[in-house]
Structure 1
Amino acid sequence: MKKLFFLFIVLFCSSVVIVSAQSDLPTAKPLKIESANPIDPLGKPSTGPVLNMPSLIKEQPNVNMRDPNTVKMLRDEELVQAGTGLKIDPRIGPGERLGGSGQFFADQYLGDVKSSGKFIGIVCRDHEYVDGDRVKIYMNDMVVEPNMLLTGAFKGVNVDLQDGFNRLDFEALNHGSSAPNTAQIDVYNDKGELIYSNKWLLSAGSKATLIVTKESM
């Protein structure tokens, strides 16, 4: 009897534990899924709240897409072609406008000198940076040296003198790799004596002029 009573007590306690454990579990609630709004097969949007936005552009522009010049940012009288009124001296080389000194050196008058000899000797050299400057020399509008390359050493020509005034022109053919065309000029009489010395700064196409007066013996 004691064994049966003990077994009864054990079964009773086990049932109480199972019932209490089950009572601790959360109560399940059924999930309710509402039916979705049907989709319009024609693709029309469903009616909903309308967002009223104020119109930022009161007047709609009338643009003709076939005309490429329809849209204008300024009034007609304010549209000016780029470069209008800009004048460039054709004698200024591209190096002077872009990568050179930016300054134009016009024709230069070197002054005058007198000599009683039959001829004079003219020598020139690049007195600054030797960069390939070239010059053409005229005597009384006649070319006596068509293309002289100026180096660090003197080089030149002898020219005969006419009675009275003689005009020497030195035309800068270029300005080398660095503007302007620079040179030192020395003039000697027929006895080898230095009678004149000067320098020039010229843009390509400009001229330096020296007047040589031949005196009578």
Structure 2
Amino acid sequence: MKQVVWIVMMCFAINGYSQSEFSSKFKAIPPVDTSVKIKKTPPPTVAPPDIVAPNILKKPETKFQSTTFKIGDPDPISMIQTNDFINPGDEVRDKMNKSINKSLVNSGLKEDTSYLNQKDLDFGTIRTKSKTLLIRVRDYGAIDGDLIKATSIHDYKSIVLVNNLYLDSGFRDIHMDLKEGLNYLELEALNRGSLGGNTGAFYIYDSAGTLLLSDLWNNFDKGVKSKFTFIKE
């Protein structure tokens, strides 16, 4: 019996002690703060920009780029069509046409006119005091039926001196009267010879028989002219 009472008393003693140890005055130890602390820096202060209203009454200053353009130089901006952009097919087409033409000529199906002179030939100006001129002409190559026409022009008036003059191996004479001032002479090829272009040689003499000029024309196409200018002093 005594042992039971002793055990009960010990239990009350232990309970009382425990309550006094874990009373409301107990303070727990806070955990250690291991987080990284970031120092916050305030952003710099930026002054607002100065806004100035434009003056609509003031003319803007126009700045032009410097240029070295001079009068007489080609215009850098042109509306005229040029050959800067060429179709590559045109070159191929032209070569094919030349090749075809050459084949036709070689086979006798087309006449070769590439050698013909198609521009008038000016033999210059001759000064003379003679009242008349003698022009002697002939075919200097093979006789193949060349025909010419001779015309004199003065004061915008034309006079046919000879027409359908046949050029032979011998000389044919043409007489021309000169008037004060400018006088023009044109020898026109009326056809092509059967062996090629119209060819001829000429000799021009004054009334005293002095040779003033001699030369020739070669392979003229039909309608091409030899031109002369005479000034009667």
The alignment's TM-score, normalised by the length of structure 2, stands at 0.49
Listed as ranges, the matches of 1:108-119 within 5 Å are 108-119=121-132
SS of corresponding position for 1:192: coil
Aligned residues: 122
- Write the deviation string for residues 39-91 of structure 1: whole angstroms up to 9, x where unpaired: xxxxxxxxxxxxxxxxxxxxxxxxxxxxxxxxxxxxxxxxxxxxxxx9xxxxx
- Cα separation, 2, equivalents of 1:128 and 1:112: 26
Listed as ranges, the matches of 1:130-145 within 5 Å are 130-140=143-153, 141-145=158-162
- Write the deviation string for residues 154-193 of structure 1: whole angstroms up to 9, x where unpaired: 1122110011111000110011102211111110000112
SS of corresponding position for 1:151: coil
Say which of 225, 230, 233 aligns to 1:207.
225
Shift of 1:100: 4.2
Indicate whether 1:182 and 2:190 are aligned.
no
Residue in 2 aligned with 1:36?
Answer: none
SS of corresponding position for 2:215: strand
Answer whether contact 1:132 1:177 (CA < 8 A) is retained.
Answer: yes
Listed as ranges, the matches of 1:33-182 within 5 Å are 98-105=110-117, 106-140=119-153, 141-182=158-199
- Cα separation, 2, equivalents of 1:174 and 1:207: 11
Counterpart of 2:142 in structure 1: which amino acid? Y
Shift of 1:115: 1.4
Counterpart of 1:200 in structure 2: which amino acid? W
Shift of 1:101: 4.8
- Cα separation, 1, equivalents of 2:181 and 2:215: 22
Tell me: CA distance 1:113–1:102, structure 2 relative to 1, closer, same or farther (3 Å).
Answer: same
Residue in 2 aligned with 1:34?
Answer: none
- Write the deviation string for residues 126-157 of structure 1: whole angstroms up to 9, x where unpaired: 11111110000000032110111001111122
Listed as ranges, the matches of 1:15-26 within 5 Å are none
The answer for unaligned runs of 5 or more in structure 2 is 1-96, 98-108
Answer whether contact 1:136 1:170 (CA < 8 A) is retained.
Answer: yes
The answer for unaligned runs of 5 or more in structure 1 is 1-85, 87-96
Answer whether contact 1:100 1:178 (CA < 8 A) is retained.
Answer: no
SS of corresponding position for 2:184: strand
Counterpart of 2:145 in structure 1: which amino acid? G
- Cα separation, 2, equivalents of 1:179 and 1:133: 9
Compare CA radii of gyration and give the structure with the larger one: 2
Task: State the Cα RMSD in Å.
Answer: 2.2
Indicate whether 1:195 and 2:212 are aligned.
yes
Tell me: CA distance 1:179–1:100, structure 2 relative to 1, closer, same or farther (3 Å).
Answer: farther
Tell me: CA distance 1:119–1:104, structure 2 relative to 1, closer, same or farther (3 Å).
Answer: same
- Cα separation, 1, equivalents of 2:232 and 2:115: 36
